[in-house]
Amino acid sequence: MAGESAEDLLALAVATAREAGDLVAAMRAEGVDVADTKSSSVDIVTRADRTCEELVRERLLGPRPGDGFVGEEGEDVPSTSGVRWIVDPIDGTVNYLYGLPQYAVSIAVEVDDRIVAGVVRSPVPGLEYAATLGGGATRNGAPIRVRSTPPLTQTLVATGFGYEAEVRDRQARSVARLLPQVRDIRRAGSCALDLCGVAAGEADAYVEEGPNVWDYSAGGLVAQEAGAVFEVWRTSSGKDLVVCAPADGWEGFSALVRACGFLGEDPR
């Protein structure tokens, strides 16, 4: 990192995420403008998504012009420094549209193809999850750890659904197989916050098909540093499947995910 530490990069990410979170919260108070759609008519982009990503790009690449940048809304910038920023300006845009508080600014930093730091900032409740590789995970500055793993039948599983009808149909069938075998499921609407929820012991596991690298990079590091196993698999349809659970419950949960058909194969 040319003499830079993960802590230095995290400090820049945190300062940027706080400013960006304040921006999108203020814009939400003024009303939401839907600027475009993506994969389907219900997969929206707001003016705040774009404005926030522009701010984050300026704050990160302004002092570090050689770094790369990949974000949900704008064009990718290649890295000449070995450092790349991975950004979701608003993870949970539909929640944002409806005035629900479960949305976040997610910023991860990758050095030589490895995530070394990340922050997930949820501005309305004032929650900030952060981690560095090998340095542990925090929520609002206090260390966090995953919950002790219960039996699978007592597992609370966070999940989510894509925006394409065909994908949703497949996901719904997998969740229907999962539900009788666990305590319950939760669908909060933000991949980054779901992963942080596992890290903080607010859920026992998480599985979702379809998140992108900007959705899960920061939250995945937070979960890992809090004691979870975080993996990204590939489904039969070519989409990412994000799977996360505490290390001591990983074997059982990951086997259940496969058995319920989340990878796209019919388990019957």
Which are the catalytic amino acids?
Answer: 72, 88, 90-91, 93, 215
Cα four-point dihedral sign 236, 238, 244, 247: positive
**Helices 165-178 and 250-259, axial angle in degrees (round to 10):** 120
Instruction: Give the span between the Cα atoms of 84 and 137, in whole angstroms.
Output: 21
Neighbours of 190 (CB within 10 A): 29
Cα four-point dihedral sign 7, 136, 91, 167: positive
Neighbours of 78 (CB within 10 A): 10
Beta strands (DSSP E) in the chain are: 34-37, 44-46, 68-71, 83-91, 104-111, 114-122, 127-132, 136-139, 142-143, 156-159, 184-186, 205-209, 228-234, 240-246
**Three-state secondary structure call for residue 36:** strand
Instruction: Give the span between the Cα atoms of 212 and 218, in whole angstroms.
Output: 12
Q: Which amino acid is at 261?
A: G
Instruction: Give the span between the Cα atoms of 232 and 234, in whole angstroms.
Output: 7
CA 148 to chain CA centroid, Å, is 22
Q: Which amino acid is at 38?
A: K
**Three-state secondary structure call for residue 144:** coil
Place of tokens 């229907």: 176
